[in-house]
Structure 1
């Protein structure tokens, strides 16, 4: 009997994934990560990895009759994800902590832990992602439910980890998963979904920084012409492409074009200044060798419509893509995920 470790968060998706794997005849082991000291969620703020989630995961494991372990990785999570998020925003970026977390904690590191410590054959999660084979190599594909597809967040996960991953929900829709959970009386079948960025509990970056006592430094909002138009609340409160909430007046709508952490300024301009014909991503992670790529598309944020690419170049570290048509500038710090049809080819951090 093959052994599979499931990242059991205490939510309906991972719980249903564990149920499906047990039904398929695997020896299933649940692991829940303690990443927060939060005791429970408020009624309107669902955040994963709280003490309540751990208790929910225990209930599910008991209901399914599987072994269950809780691992305290709060220090690892703080160092690899929360600190990355804070430093990124303070550097003028718009970081994507979920993609980093999947590589460094919840998927990548936990899969390696499962293999080394628990001698697991596979590692599974409740992500809406599929796997397949291309020329004999295991690859990541978009999930069936495109409204829930989470392949974008897998772009930085190392190839060696991909080989041991299983995604039981890849061929299901969210509604189908809920139905399976309800019909089989899984304890968390009615539980609401958690936020994408779990540790912010639904707060905006500005609200989050204030909640942890990190002061925001005000500075000038500068038009591309050089004219100072007003004051910003702190670089952390803005992202590339933002139009609303700037608090300035101009004869035409203005957008955030860039952020300068050295001068502590927000640069704004008309929409044409937001358009570009290219994007670059550093530290590129290849899931499929570039020699096998053809007719690629890219995504610069979660749920963005795939963008067609005319040309691409790789210099040994950084990938540059040239779009077929001009696009809105992508936010530095986000992930550039590259696809061929629905196959995830890899990804890197946008510069």
Structure 2
């Protein structure tokens, strides 16, 4: 292994401890910190490219980054990725939401930015590998193929968010926290007086400051389209202020009186109608998943696997039928709540990630 290793440092406790553990093993370590433009006070001017903060750097505008550099005794390269982040992450979210899907921008960020662009940047600065603070495990198989597994800490496992990363990237990825729990990470930080400069935990969507609706409404060119709220049989029962304010399974904001609460069942983009019904109607057994990213080549078209349909979902047993290299049909043993088009579906064989894709329809 190349002795020089890059560590993606956000300023949170996980990446700080990950960098500390890698350095403690004797590797030549440097940090990579990227600026998306959605920070309250971006630490780099747009189109500046990059600059490096060294321990003891006197520039006041880099206080948070300098803290990382000082505590770890490593240089940190600050990289402007505003353009790439807009194209690959925030604009992707906008387009998907506008088309009635519920996207997961963290998955897009991992695939395009953290394990795409950042690996390129790590190589540019001379590193052979990139370490991150993700709770997941990557190994090489006996055939020299990268494999992805869930973390020891099942409550913090982030393999779901890594499911759309091309498997070749994991040959250059290191997960120092893979065998640790969150509490153990906190203890390592405490024992070694590591204080994250940005105390707030990472948010699922870093560029959403208040709500999805507010983000959509402030996007250039967006115009809200009020429309009808209808029952599954097409009967009008109310009006909505724009489909961008809703997602599958949502209860809040419907504001239509009934014998029991209404939930969003579907977004009819073509007719600009919000389809609502009762909670029992949200349970479905089947879904089509496409844009598959396979980690293992399956030998038969029919598999028994467990499948997650969102990060907080407990993986459920299902029959998986491979349609082609890009898609599969999933039939759950038990109906699942709120299968949502646009979200990722991740297929597991025990703790091994077999593949991931996007839910197209249920």
Q: Same fold (TM over 0.5)?
A: yes
Gap change, CA 1:164 and 1:53, over 3 Å in 2: farther
**Structure 1 pair 314–211 and aligned structure 2 pair: CA distance change class (3 A):** same
Specify which of 308, 323, 332 is matched with residue 341 of structure 2: 332
Map Cα deviations across residues 234-276 of structure 1 (whole Å, 9 max, x no partner). Answer: 2121111122331012234322111011111111123343222
- Which residue of 139, 148, 152 maps to 1:132? 139
What's the counterpart of residue 46 of structure 1? none
Q: 1:75 aligns with which of 75, 83, 86?
A: 83
1:342 to 348, 351, 354: 351
Unaligned runs of 5+ in 2: 43-59
Change (3 A) 1:316 1:190: closer
- 1:6 is the counterpart of 2:36: no
Q: Which of 239, 255, 262 is equivalent to 2:247?
A: 239
Name 2:213's counterpart in structure 1: 206
Tell me how far 1:313 sits from its aligned partner.
Answer: 2.1
Name the residue aligned to 1:58: 66
Q: Deviations over 1:64-103 (max 9, x none)?
A: 1212211100000001100001111110110110000100
Q: Which residue of 2 aligns with 1:121?
A: 128
The one-character-per-residue Cα deviations of 1:146-176 (angstroms, maximum 9, x if unpaired) are 1111110001000110111111111111121
CA contact (8 A) 1:294 1:340 kept: no
Distance 2:31 2:320 in 1: 44
Runs of 4+ in 1 over 6 A off after TM superposition: none
**Bigger mean CA offset, 146-155 vs 189-198:** 189-198
Q: CA deviation at 1:291?
A: 2.4
1:91 has 2:92 as partner: no
Alpha-carbon spacing, 1:132–1:238, altered in 2? closer, same or farther (3 Å): same
Q: What is the aligned partner in structure 2 of residue 270 from structure 1?
A: 278
The corresponding residue for 1:44 is none
Residue matched to 1:312 = 321
Which SS does the other structure have where 1:230 is aligned? strand
Judge conservation of contact 1:181–1:189 (CA < 8 Å) in 2.
no
Taking a change above 3 Å as real, the CA distance of residues 189 and 287 of structure 1, as seen in their structure-2 partners, is: same
Count of aligned positions: 339
Q: Does the Cα contact within 8 Å between 1:10 and 1:54 map onto a contact in 2?
A: no
Please give the residue correspondences for 1:17-56 in structure 2 after superposition, counting only pairs within 5 Å: 17-36=18-37, 38-40=39-41, 55-56=63-64
Q: Relative to 1, partners in 2 of residues 1:132 and 1:160: Cα closer, same or farther, differing over 3 Å?
A: closer
Q: Aligned equivalents of 2:168 and 2:139: distance in 1? A: 15
Query: What is the DSSP-based 3-state SS (H/G/I as helix, E as strand, rest coil) of the residue aligned with 1:15?
Result: helix
2:109 aligned with 1:101: yes
- Contact 2:92 2:105 (8 Å CA) reproduced: yes
Q: Confirm or deny: 8 A CA contact 1:139 1:162 kept in the other structure.
A: yes
User: Is the partner of 1:209 in helix, strand or coil?
Assistant: helix
Structure 2: how far apart are the matches of 1:145 and 1:233? 41
Matches within 5 A, 1:247-262: 247-262=255-270
Query: Are residues 176 and 211 of structure 1, via their aligned partners in 2, closer, same or farther at CA, if it must alter by over 3 Å?
Result: farther
2:64–2:198 contact (8 Å) kept in structure 1: no
Q: Give distance in 2, aligned partners of 1:169 and 1:350.
A: 29
Structure 1 unaligned runs (5+)?
42-51
How far the C-alpha of 1:34 sits from its partner, in A, is 1.0
**Deviations 1:271-314, CA, capped at 9 Å, x for gaps:** 34322221112110011212289531111111201011124222
